[in-house]
Structure 1
Amino acid sequence: MPQPGNFWTARLALVGDRSPGVRAHARIPELLDALVQRDQLALDAYWIPTREAESGGSLAGFDAVWLVPGSPYDSEAGAIAAVRTAREAGIPFLGTCGGFQHAVLEFARDVCGLVGLEHAENQPEAEDLLIVPLACSLVGHEGAVTVEAGSLAERVLGAERTLERYHCSYGLGTPYLDALRAHGLRFSGTDDAGDVRIAELPGHPFFLATLFQPELAGDGTRVHPIIRALAAAAVEHAAKSSAPTHT
């Protein structure tokens, strides 16, 4: 069968509040061009502000959802709704940096029933925090990530250890990790201290979240494998959605 990337253009929702001051946002158009030129993966990308994403219908018809960096978002509810839509509808999903944080927060609230958990950046006075300030900020840092064998992340990266770039000051706290695991979330990448850096959802067509920012890898001319994998999943979703049905 011909490769679907040669015939279908997938629709990608870039959920986030676009700003020229966010380096990852400035890099994304370059990455989309590189996907076409180097990988023959064409994505028709649309920016969806988080307030617009509060409406579930705002993501109708998209083949992938990418919750991009840039927190605090204008609308936490919109970021959470975007994750929920992708998770429940089986739409390929990638969350990076703030997208990672809100993907885990959505899972904790909507799947685990931990509705009172908060994000410290959005609710710094809250008592029950899932996303907490990092002891040492990772803004501008690089760090090694060990990837669990047999995971989606390991298949995508093709390695069990990788060096990644960060631009964040918040991460996942530890008290609720067991509850998240018990409900099916897999933590497939950790730093050298054992802190979670990658999460994924087995059984979903493609659901991956990273605290690091793959957008910042290299000079933008070669796409990080995680972004390439999202693009491939989006094109596959578009191909399946366009395939004729037979009765």
Structure 2
Amino acid sequence: MLGGTIGDIEGMPFVEAFRQFQFKAKRENFYNIHVSLVPQPSATGEQKTKPTQNSVRALRGLGLSPDLIICRSSTPIEMAVKEKISMFCHVNPEQVICIHDVSSTYRVPVLLEEQGIIKYFKERLDLPICGYSSYLFSNWKCMADRYERLQKSCSIALVGKYTKLRDCYASVFKALEHSALAINHKLNLMYIDSIDLEPITKAEDPVKFHEAWQKLCIADGIIVPGGFGVRGTLGKLQAISWARTKKIPFLGVCLGMQLAVIEFARNCLDLKDANSTEFEPNTPVPLVIDMPEHNPGNLGGTMRLGLRRTVFVTENSLLRTLYGDVPFIEERHRHRFEVNPSLVSHFDQKDLSFVGQDIDGKRMEIIELTNHPYFVGVQFHPEFSSRPMKPSPPYLGLLLAATGHLDAYLQQICRSSTRGPLRKNDWNSDTSDDSFLEPTMADLEIS
């Protein structure tokens, strides 16, 4: 178990819970990591250890002793400072780990490993770490190196209504960054407030309106993430329509998928009144409805949450191929509304297909548009399962399509399926930074 404390800990009630838990868990299963800042005032340039000493003293006074002290600093911590912290905090020098500001967060695990933290964990907690961990960490180092020498970039427009609070889309940003890194591209994420795309903004603030549309026009790909409420939906629908008609790679997540279905119904099926009961409860064409178990009068505990299985209903699915040609997937959900299954028949024999459904075949989980470079919508949130060395397939597909490499990627997957893992030299005759997903596809666990 890892326990972290920062700065003033006396007002943190969970410290007592940790104190009691350490006796229940036993020493061999409990590990306390104390994170502390080592400030360096610009006036003197001297790295100060007093804050760390005081916080460790206060922690011990509450019944917890740190097994490891992580020291954060703006510049590398001098050895004399490290030894001083070790002496006055009563820990061995190897139990003081120093992390200074680096070029990217991907460098932090490299710093930790260089200071022997993996070996220390293995010995202290008797962890079953095998030689494969060295192989994985070698790949991590390669990824961190590649991140710093990326030359090409890919511009993705994120159209949402919480863009002023960008932490709301932190998981989406990271999923996009993981995928961009996997194909050796920098991510240029452009946040667009969906309201700025609407006619009302054109009337009230023409400059903001044209700036928003300019971003959308230059984007290599467009993503409409999840959200709630009617505000800004018109702008999202316009962005989706732009992506569909202009053949711009598009990914809709949760509400983004629902709006993609509504946009297609209105403009391609002549269902002009198609809408969601979330926005218009009495809509004559309720294409998106609240789930059967959802009680609109009591929002507490009514969301469809957690890991759910999605079954591919056709083998001719782009997303199925990206997931490794599997019959089903399991992804996390977070929604109250869904595509109305009674109206799905309107889409039969049309370009928009519901290629993924739940295990009962009642909930529409994945849509794909044929005759389009990449137009995908998912009811679940694949960004929650994205990892730096295991990018989310829907997001990876968006980045591949946005950079013009999706077809080559899919062809290589088909060829490699009969001959084992896909290596970077399989992509291209040259081995420059244009090659993808080094060192192997097996490391990314996509195929």
TM-score (norm 2): 0.49
Q: Percent identity?
A: 25
Give the counterpart of 2:221 among 50, 54, 64: 64
SS in 2 for 1:113: coil
Aligned mates of 1:23, 1:57 — CA distance in 2: 23
Gaps of 5+ in 1: 1-5, 238-247
Q: Higher helix share goes to which structure?
A: 2
2:323 partner amino acid: L
User: 1:172 and 2:339 equivalent?
Assistant: yes
Give the counterpart of 2:170 among 22, 26, 43: 26
SS in 2 for 1:81: helix
The alignment covers a number of residue pairs equal to 232
Write the deviation string for residues 212-242 of structure 1: whole angstroms up to 9, x where unpaired: 11111156763211111111111118xxxxx
Aligned-pair Cα RMSD in Å? 2.4
SS in 2 for 1:28: helix
Given that 1:28 and 1:215 are in contact with CA atoms closer than 8 Å, whether structure 2 keeps it comes out as: yes
SS in 2 for 1:60: helix
Query: Higher mean Cα deviation, 138-147 or 82-91?
Result: 138-147
Write the deviation string for residues 164-215 of structure 1: whole angstroms up to 9, x where unpaired: 1111000000232122223321110010110210001011010000001111
Aligned mates of 2:166, 2:218 — CA distance in 1: 27
Q: Which has the larger radius of gyration?
A: 2
After TM superposition, the structure 1 = structure 2 runs for residues 158-169 of structure 1, keeping only pairs within 5 Å, are 158=324, 159-169=326-336
2:309 partner amino acid: A
1:15 corresponds to: 159
1:190 corresponds to: 357
Give the counterpart of 2:257 among 100, 112, 117: 100
Aligned mates of 2:373, 2:387 — CA distance in 1: 29
Aligned mates of 2:183, 2:280 — CA distance in 1: 41
| Shift in CA distance, 200/32, structure 1 to aligned 2, threshold 3 Å | closer
Given that 1:16 and 1:73 are in contact with CA atoms closer than 8 Å, whether structure 2 keeps it comes out as: no
User: 1:151 and 2:317 equivalent?
Assistant: yes
After TM superposition, the structure 1 = structure 2 runs for residues 79-98 of structure 1, keeping only pairs within 5 Å, are 79-98=236-255
2:390 corresponds to: 222
Aligned mates of 2:160, 2:260 — CA distance in 1: 13
Aligned mates of 2:306, 2:221 — CA distance in 1: 28
Aligned mates of 2:350, 2:195 — CA distance in 1: 29
Select the structure with the greater relative contact order (CA < 8 A; seq sep ≥ 6): 1
1:214 partner amino acid: P
TM-score (norm 1): 0.85
| Shift in CA distance, 33/218, structure 1 to aligned 2, threshold 3 Å | closer
